[in-house]
Structure 1
């Protein structure tokens, strides 16, 4: 996808911000009353280029908005918050920049990321340096299981939650039980993990995997795979792709005129907007969307629209929400100490997360327990503007259900925090 959503921050301005951090007084004691700096720096890493770039732009814009709102309401115990945002590009770059932000820029915590492999690399730095890292976009179950870290928390949903949310809608539509499914999957850590969770769901719900292909993240021409789908005639096409891959696939799928229903287990609303009315098809899970009917959700939507002339999408929600959670926790504790914040979050602190129910982090894997949604594309003749192009389920889990029913159990995804 070549479209850009919003204005890019210039790399020159980022370099200036980094240079300023070198000469600004470093944070001394993490206790706010003793801190020597007049600002609290938060490091924000997320992809700004490549196939995840369109999502990263929403992340940066929403994080900036959150910091502006935090500062306008008094900051953190009277101190301003300063955001240091950079392009994480790949796992090696993400790790190097995270380490520089901690050791040189003296950031109080790290927020962001979308790529699961990069999130793992950042979490290793955060654990070693004992600095809080709020993951806002990486879905891999392994980050909550075998690769979990004490200083790593997840605002983003895990893959299993995404599969189970969309799966509920697909089962209700009669598209799973006894059906032949063909899966196209992004060939990197996120995709591999998502396919693993999808297969568990298919087996549990009596679907047959008729075919599967791994798709390189740089691929833009899907015609060979579309021809295979035409020949295979599945009952359902599952698109386990990521970022701009999904937009490109949906556009080409529409051009081929294939009649098979489409769905996916990982999604961001920006990708639906990129595909556009008539090209966006099927049923997908989202962690949040701009039409949620709650006061805080609509306040966020209005503020984002006023600043950026468009609604926010779910990746933006993740980074905005993480910033607000961090600021609220620091204000409640009157400290920027990461260990104290970790303990605070593990004790069951609750947060308004722009949904109908508050969210909280599970103490044993640090996953945010929250409502999710499944969206389904509207027919092109029912679309009235470029953004409201889908219908949505109510919150999942429903009002009478425990928030943890979509997430993995300890037996399914054991986490043992490193010392």
Structure 2
């Protein structure tokens, strides 16, 4: 893996931990008696169900970000109040988003992991002309056919996840001309991820030896593991989500199948949940707790101090989104969503706790940023329950455009209504 070595890039970031994002807030006046009403931010994310373990990280990180924003003077001298709710499912997410906007008068909405729920929230946000920053839903369609002017994406689209993992898998010789068995989560995210994965596999001369759609509530993978054993693939690709991945990895390890495992969608909490010795293979992540950028390690230290565990990539997404919102509102001296949309479309750059700053593309509102591919460490090299993988350096690499992993307009057209 000479092109993508195990060590994290040490390219210097000249900003001290997180200072860039907080700089506008640091100059804000201290809260005063009789100050203006608090600025409310609505936070929706799954706290129950198969995505619940990720939603817990998301909610904790959002709360930490708000505490830090308030400690630095709030937004234009006003305290920030976080309203957090379990989004549960698309119908509930839509109803809660509408209530937060109409009754609670939130300035914006942040969060979500489920792609169908994110679409439902975006429809409400668009109708009400309120900013919504998606922190965890990956579907390409949310950036294409279902794109919305008031929706922005801190989370990577599925194509970016596939191409990030694909680089590492090509380097390992696990794709070109190989037979692949695919397991896919049977809901919007999984279907979209499989579609993007098949495009990548076809371009690289891989064939599908077998594939199955996995219900999100399924916990027993033994029937599918028996099918994999019979198919004898060169590699098993997981397009699963949430607790599905944790359960699959545990049971795959118990079965002792010899075929390499990889995935095109992932969250590090799912590897931690599988337990030491059960995490296998190579996977894409948008961020991880070992990224060496100074602001990343400041975030890791603060999260560990508060919650007694490191943050995972979903925590990064909600924390970063909250900081982007605060910086933008402080810069504009306004909470007006339309003005913030125009600001984010203008090419504004943000410290996103990586080596390079990120920015939103104006035509699909996807955050252009570095990503990573991680590979499980051998059991004898694991020293604790969290540091269980090695990582490539940032992808795209030094000197490459941040946009090379993302879809082009020809691949995933987005047209905002007038």
TM-score of the two chains, using structure 2 as the length reference: 0.92
- Give the secondary-structure state (helix, strand or coil) at the position aligned to 1:284: strand
Query: What secondary structure, in the 3-state scheme, does the structure 1 residue paired with 2:44 have?
Result: strand
Partner-residue secondary structure (3-state), 1:351: coil
RCO higher in structure (CA 8 A, sep ≥6): 2
Give the Cα separation in 2 of the matches to 1:37 and 1:221: 54
Q: Please give the per-residue CA displacement for 1:363-385, whole angstroms capped at 9, x wherever unaligned.
A: 00000000000000001111000
For structure 1, the residue ranges without an aligned partner over 5 or more in a row are: 1-34
Q: Counterpart in 2 of 1:307?
A: 306
2:164 maps to 165
CA deviations on 1:55-112 (whole Å, 9 max, x unpaired) are 0000000000000000000000100000000000000000000000000000000000
User: What SS does the corresponding residue of 2:210 show, helix, strand or coil?
Assistant: strand
Match of 1:326 in 2: 325
- 1:183 aligned residue: 182
1:197 correspondence with 2:196? yes
Q: Specify the alignment match of 1:411 in structure 2.
A: 410
1:156 & 1:359 partners in 2: Cα distance?
12
Q: Secondary structure at the match of 2:201?
A: helix
1:347 aligns with 2:342: no
Cα distance in 1 for residues equivalent to 2:84 and 2:205: 45
Q: Work out the CA distance in 1 between the residues paired with 2:243 and 2:332.
A: 40
1:263 paired residue number: 262
Q: Which residue of 1 aligns with 2:85?
A: 86
2:235 — aligned with what?
236
Tell me which stretches of 4 or more aligned residues in structure 1 moved more than 2 Å: none
Partner of 2:129: 130
Per the alignment, residue 32 of structure 1 pairs with none
Partner Cα separation in structure 2 for residue 240 and residue 277 of structure 1: 22
What CA distance in whole angstroms lies between the structure 1 residues aligned with 2:176 and 2:191? 23
Deviation at 1:276, TM superposition (A): 1.5
**Are the counterparts in 1 of residues 35 and 78 from structure 2 also a CA contact under 8 Å?**
no
Q: Secondary structure at the match of 2:311?
A: coil
3-state SS, counterpart of residue 352 of structure 1: coil
- Map of 2:39 onto structure 1: 40
What value does the CA root-mean-square deviation take over the aligned residues? Answer: 0.9
After superposition, give the CA deviation of every residue in 1:312-359 in whole Å (9 maximum; x if it has no partner): 000000000000000000000000000000000000000000000000
SS of 1:176's partner is: coil
How far is 1:37 from its partner?
A: 4.4
Shift of residue 277, structure 1, vs aligned partner: 1.6
In the alignment, structure 1 residue 245 sits paired with structure 2 residue 244: yes
Q: Is 1:220–2:219 an aligned residue pair?
A: yes
**Who is 1:155 aligned against?**
154
Distance in 2 (alpha carbons) for counterparts of 1:160 and 1:364: 17
Partner Cα separation in structure 2 for residue 294 and residue 36 of structure 1: 36
The residue number in structure 2 matching 1:254 is: 253
Separation (CA, whole Å) in 1 of partners of 2:157 and 2:87: 21
Q: Distance in 2 between matches of 1:172 and 1:117?
A: 34
Q: TM-score, normalised by structure 1?
A: 0.91
Instruction: Structure 2 unaligned segments of length 5 or more: list them.
Output: 1-33
Q: In structure 1, what is the Cα distance between the partners aligned to 2:376 and 2:246?
A: 13
Equivalence for 2:363: 364
1:208 corresponds to which residue?
A: 207
Aligned to 2:24: none
Give the superposition deviation at 1:263: 0.2
Q: Distance in 2 between matches of 1:187 and 1:310?
A: 31
Contact 2:347 2:360 in 1 (8 A): yes
Report the Cα distance in structure 2 between the residues aligned to 1:315 and 1:374, rounded to whole angstroms. 15
SS of match in other structure, 2:94: helix
CA-to-aligned-CA distance 1:226-280 (integer Å, 9 cap, x gap): 0000000000000000000000000000000000000000000000000122100
What's the CA shift for 1:418? Answer: 2.0
Shift of 1:408: 0.1
Cα distance in 2, alignment partners of residues 199 and 249 from structure 1: 21
